[in-house]
Structure 1
Amino acid sequence: MNHFALLCSTLLLLALSYNLVAKTERLLPEQKIYTATTFGPDGRLWRILSAQKSISIDYSTDFGKSFSQPVRVNSTDMPIHAWDENPPTLAVDRTGRVYVLYFADDKQSSTSFFSHSDNGTQFSAPVKISSEANTWYHYQTEMLIDTANRVHFIWHDVRDRAEYKKQGDGDLSIYHVSARTGKIINLPTDQRIAKNICSCCRTAMAEDVDGSLVILARYVYPGNIRDHGLLKLSPDGKTSEPWRVTFDDWEIEGCPAHGPALSIGANGRYHMVWFTQGEKRSGIFYAWSDDQGKTLSSPTQVGDQDKLPGRADVLALDKQVALAWKVFDGTQTRVEAMYSTDGGLHWSKPQVVAETATQSAHPALITDGKQIFLSWNSMDTGFRLIPIRQSDDDSNQ
C-alpha cells in the first residue's frame, strides 16, 4: 500500500471509529448545541455548557470520554443568547486560568459577558465587554489570550449606524479592547479598529509570531462586493489600515452570515479559509501567505460543490494543517476533513469524520499541542472530540 492510500485508510478508520473517541448522551431539551472547547497547559480539555438561562464549565482528563461535575459561571439566571455565528468562547492561559465569554439578553439583546477563574472552580462576577453595552447592540465577540498575557476582545457593533446610513456602502464597525490578565481584570474604554464590515459574518482573529493581532474579516467594498480583508494590531496598540486579500467579487445586497477562519503557524505562515459565491470563485477556498498577508498563494477549492460545503475551519500546528467543513445531502449533515504535513502545500483526500441527522454546531478545530482534533456538538449524540491525524510514516499526495 502506498503512502497516500495508507493516509486515506487511516482517516477512514478514524471516521468509522469516532463514536468511541468521545461520546455523551443526547442533549437535554434545556441544553444548547453551541459550545466551545480548549485544552489547558496540563492537558485537560475544558468545555462550555450552554443552557437556556446559564453557562457552566467542565473538563475532561481522558479526551472527552468523561467530564467533571459542571461549575456554573453566572450565579443569576439570564436568557442565554447564541446562534451559529455567535457561539460562546473559551480560553485557558499558560498558568491554567480559565476565561469565558458568552452572550445573554440584557438591556440589549445578545450582550457579551466575560468571566474568569484561577482554576475553574469559582468564577468572577460576569462583566459586560462593550462600554456601550447598555445602549448599542453588539455581537460576534471574539476572545484571544496572547503570549504577553493580555486578553483581547473584538466584536461587531452597530453604534456607528448613522454613519453607514449616510455612506450607503457599509454595515457596521469592529471594536476592540484589551487588558492585562490576572486575578482582577479591568477593561479600558473600547476603540473602533475597522469599519465597513459585513454585519453577520463572524470575524477571525489570531496572534502573529511578532506578537501582533491579525484580524480577517468580510468587508463591504463599493458596489456591495463582499470580500475579505486583513488588518493588524501591533503589540504597542497601533492599528494598521486594512487591505483586501480576496478578490472573488461577490456582489450581494445582504450579509451571507458565513465568516472566514484564520490560523498562523509557528513559522509565521498565515492559513486562511473562506466561503464565497462570487463572480470569479464560488465555494470554500483555502490559501496561505508567507509575507504576513501581503500576498496569498493561489486559492485551492475545498470540498465537493455538489455537496454544498460550508462552515470551514483551519488550524495549523507547526507544519501540520487541518481543514474541516460541513456538507449536507438533504438529510444528513456531515463533517469532512483533510490534512497536510507540509504547511498546506499538499493535502490528503477529504474524508467524512462525523455525521448527524439532527441540529449541529459548526465544526471547530482545537489542539493539545501534539495533534489536531475536531470539536463538534449535535443534538443526537452530544459532544464529540475526534482526532484528525495520520501516522508519522504517512505523506501527502
Structure 2
Amino acid sequence: MINEAIENPKQYTYIIAGGGMAGLSLAYYLSESSLTYERILILDQGNEATKTWSYWSDEAHPFDVFAEHSWGQLEVNSFANKNLNLTIAPFVYRKIESGTWTKAIQEKLHQNPKFEFIQARIEGFNFQGKFAQVLTDKGRFEATEKIFDSVSPYPCDLTNPKELKQHFVGLSIETNFPLFDPNKATLFDFRIAFTNACEFMYVLPTSTRNALFEHTFFSGELLDEKAYLAQIKAYLLAYYGLSDDDYEIKGSEKGIIPMNYVAIPQNLHQKIIKIGTSGGFVKASTGYSFKRTQVLLKKLVGQLESDNKNAHAIHQKRFKILLDRIFIQVLVDQQVKGSTVFEKLFQKNSAQTMLRFLDEQTNIWEDLRLMTSVPTWPFMKAFFKIVFKRPTFY
C-alpha cells in the first residue's frame, strides 16, 4: 500500500526545516509580519540540547523578556593578570536559556492556527515542478513559496586543524555559600591562555551562588571533553578557592561552532534558503550568532514583505568580510597569541566601541583605527596571505 503522504505531499506556503533557534526566530518574525500566507510548517527533528545564548544591545529587543539575567558591567582579565572593568552603558549584556526561550516561542506559535509543527527526521530536499519539497521519514512536504533550511551542515571539516572552530564545554554550578558578584560578567579571562591558541574562561554569575563557567577555545584542533572539564575545575580552585565539595554541578553544555569563512550567496529568487549556521549566519571571526541571527532574519522577512526577490539573504560589506578573513587567518597561524589580540583591542579602545565593532556596527574609519591596536606584523602577513594566496579553506 502506498503511503498517501508520500504519493500526495502536503502543501504549505512556507516550510521551516529545523525548529531550533534560527527556525523558531524566523517563524516568530513571520508571525509578526504583514505577509499573508495560508499555512507554515515547522519540521522539528527534536532532541535539541539546552544551550546558553548571550548577546548585548543598546536598544530594546522583543526577546529581552526571556533573559535569565543581565549585566551592565563586564570584565576582561589578561594573561598577565591585568584586570579591565568595563562599564558598557548604554549596552546591556543578557543571557537566555534556550529551553525557556524555545518553550515560550513554541507556545506563541501554537496559538496561531496558521502554524503547524511536525516532528520528523529530515532526509533531504527536492524539487517537483516549480515547488520545493522536504523529504522526511514521515513523507514529503511541499512549499508553494519557500523552504527555509536550518539543518543542512555548514561546510567545516572538524578534523582539519586549519579550519577554525569555537569549541567549548560549560558547567553551571551552585556553591554552598555566597561567592559571586551577579552584577559583573567575565567576557574573557585569559589567565589560562598558556598556548598561542585563543583560550579563555567565560563566566556568567546569575546570583551570589550560581554561575556558568565555560572553557572556550578558538582553534582548529579539538580537545577531549575531559580536558575542558579539568581546566574548569582547576580554574574554580585557583581563582575561587572551590574544591569539588564546595559546589554542585547543576547543568552542562558543550558545542563546536565553525569559524571558517565560506561565502554562501543566496537571494530571494531561490526556493530553498539556508538560514542559521547552515546559511553562514554565525559571525566567522567570533562565533557570535544569537543577535546576528535576529538581525538577519528580521531583515529577510522585511524583504519578503516588500517582495524584493533580488535581496540577498545576508548582505555583508566586502571590507567587513576581509577583516573577518584576516582575523581568522591570524588565529589559525598562531604567530601571535590569540589572547594578546583581544587584550590589546579591549585595552586600547572603549568597551562601547568594541561591542559595536563585534556587532559590525563600526564604519571603515573606526575599523582602521581599531586595527592600529593589534600587533601589526601578524595581521599584515595574514592580509597578504588572504589577498594573494587565497587559501582554499577560506
Same fold (TM over 0.5): no
Task: State TM-score, norm by structure 1.
Answer: 0.23
Task: State TM-score, norm by structure 2.
Answer: 0.23
Query: Which fold has the larger relative contact order, with Cα–Cα distance below 8 Å and residues 6 or more apart in sequence?
Result: 2
Between structures 1 and 2, the one with greater strand share: 1
Between structures 1 and 2, the one with greater helix share: 2
